[in-house]
Amino acid sequence: MVNDGKRLHSLGAMFVGVFAMVAINLTGCATADARDTSMPSVVELQRVVDEAHAKFKDLKDGKNADYIPILATVPSELFGVVIVTKDGRIYEAGDTDYMFAIESTSKPFNAALVMKEQGAQAIKDKIGVEPTGLPFNSKLALEIYDARSVNPLVNAGAIAQVSMVQADNEDERWQKVQQNLSAFAGEDLPLMDEVYQSEYKTSWSNRAIANLLYNYERLYAEPEESMRVYTKMCSVGVTTKQLGVMGATLANGGVNPLTGKRLLPEEDVPELLAIMLTAGFYDESGEWSFSAGLPAKTGVGGGIVAVVPGEMAIAAFSPRLNEAGNSVRALNAINYISDELNLSIFDGR
């Protein structure tokens, strides 16, 4: 129901947009060419979403994550692409209402919760903000960098940020994490219990990371509690559309465009986006910055969310991943849209 409402909303917005363009052209006061305005037109936004979906829907490269057994069972052909503007208009194509595991796309939003509670500097001091240049589940990163400094978007840093959420007990910690992700989506996001069970039972690598962090005094709650809450955070269910709204909240300076709620102080948004640009694609972040030029975050559930600061978010989902653990179709779709609309933050618009 809620989603139908949004679809009507976006259709309505499209009519208003088309009407406005026609009116502008008729009066001859301005041109409707999107390059002359700060935002691409409604028609153009829907066009690029449709084209990105059509162009990459037959791409079969990569494979589902299988180190978390249940992720291997998600239908590989699913593919959704969404743009959500900073004022909450939604443009979509494909399987945008399919609920998948949020996995690491949760990490910047939980980092936002820690920033809101303790300030952005706490993330820098207690976790680090340096890209590791290593895979997301690297234990080596904790051994080779000074002061065990990593960043909040790799597993080590994300387990640490969960342990930093201010809570008196595990249940409160989890409630705060889940409620914060839901607030970013503007809707309640459920725990996918089957995903949680599948991931928690096989989390030996993350458990090693949590124990190493604790040993180095870079974990701020008990390791197994941190592990459970971290794994639940990764097992939250989200749709491509909801992920788009989460990104649009960052594009909108920290205020959710659907609910009007501020979720992050405006001054912390640039810091968070900087970390997403340099580390959101793990050891592929350089290549991603080079091609799309957008802060983004990927997850092994197949989701990716990219932020165009002050304008919009682009989210895409498809389960097949490349070697770095990033969705092949989703990254191609977002890259295409960024390219078509000249969205790179380095473009000097």
**Chain residues in the site for ligand GLN (CB under 6 A):** 103-104, 136-137, 155, 199, 206, 234, 299-300, 325
Q: How far is the CB of 325 from ligand GLN (least distance, A)?
A: 5
Output phi, psi for 327, to 5 deg: -65, 125
**10 Å Cβ neighbour count for 310?**
13
Helical packing angle, 2-27 and 42-56, nearest 10°? 120
Which residue's CB comes closest to ligand GLN?
104
Q: How many helices (H) and strands (E) does the chain have?
A: 14, 7
Give the C-alpha separation, 165 to 123, whole Å: 11
Contact 253, 266 (CB under 8 A): yes
Q: How far is the CB of 349 from ligand GLN (least distance, A)?
A: 31
Query: Is 296 in a helix, a strand, or coil?
Result: strand
Considering beta carbons, is residue 104 or 335 the nearer one to ligand GLN?
Answer: 104
Q: How far is the CB of 237 from ligand GLN (least distance, A)?
A: 13
Considering beta carbons, is residue 300 or 316 the nearer one to ligand GLN?
Answer: 300
Considering beta carbons, is residue 111 or 255 the nearer one to ligand GLN?
Answer: 111
Query: Is 228 in a helix, a strand, or coil?
Result: helix
Q: How many residues does the chain have?
A: 349
Considering beta carbons, is residue 91 or 281 the nearer one to ligand GLN?
Answer: 281
Contacts of residue 346, defined as CB under 8 A and 6 or more positions apart, other chains included, come to 293
Give the C-alpha separation, 256 to 184, whole Å: 6
Q: How far is the CB of 312 from ligand GLN (least distance, A)?
A: 23
Q: How far is the CB of 119 from ligand GLN (least distance, A)?
A: 26
**10 Å Cβ neighbour count for 4?**
9
Considering beta carbons, is residue 81 or 195 the nearer one to ligand GLN?
Answer: 195
Q: How far is the CB of 300 from ligand GLN (least distance, A)?
A: 4
Considering beta carbons, is residue 45 or 181 the nearer one to ligand GLN?
Answer: 181
